[in-house]
Amino acid sequence: MQEAWMPKEEKHIIYVEDEPEMIDLVRLILESKGYIVTGASGGRNGINLIKSQKPDLVLLDLMMPDLDGWDVYQQLKSDSSTDDIPVIVVTAKAQAIDKVLGLHIAKVNDYISKPFSPQELIQSVERVLSQGEADSSSEVTNL
């Protein structure tokens, strides 16, 4: 019997971030809830990892030295093999305008400002993944 807080099946999440400590923190939080978390150090590594592993969800930092998060996001959304993977931005860019641009202009699935609480991260991940499951089940019913 499954615990109520565990995902129905193991979901794979890739976190694209240039700070190893943040990757470790997010991995610790989400793996405690049954998710599989893979860290990608920087934007270029992130794109390669996402294209090769096709995760259920991407967590994406915006401010990275090699390739910024918006460039990563644009590349993912312009590639038919990755354009359907949901993306949650996790960033220190906490200005209201940044969040509006992310959610309403770029159409990311969610936007979390650092610092965040473990519960905020977990709720966002669960909400976005459950939206994806609802979308895919409605596609099957509409066939």
Strand, coil or helix: 90: strand
Rounded Cα distance, 82 and 3, in Å: 31
pTM: predicted TM-score of the whole model, two decimal places: 0.84
Task: Establish how many alpha carbons lie within 13 A of residue 68's alpha carbon, considering only the half-sphere containing its beta carbon.
Answer: 6
| The pLDDT value given to residue 136 | 57
Specify if 5 maps to a domain. Answer: no
| The pLDDT value given to residue 7 | 52
| The pLDDT value given to residue 28 | 98
Contact assessment for residue 127 and residue 108, using Cβ atoms and an 8 Å cutoff: no
Domain span including residue 49: 12-141
- Rounded to an integer, the average pLDDT of 39-64 is 97
Specify if 7 maps to a domain. Answer: no
Specify if 6 maps to a domain. Answer: no
* Distance, C-alpha 15 to centroid of its chain: 6
- Which two tokens mark 104? 């309403």
Confidence of residue 132 (pLDDT cuts 50, 70, 90): confident
The residues that bridge with 36 in the sheet, in sequence order, are 12
CATH number of the domain residue 87 falls in: 3.40.50.2300
Specify if 91 maps to a domain. Answer: yes
Rounded Cα distance, 4 and 35, in Å: 14
Q: Which of 31-40, 90-99, 110-119, 121-130 has the lowest mean pLDDT?
A: 90-99
Instruction: Give the largest CA-CA distance in the chain.
Output: 45
Q: How many domains does the chain have?
A: 1
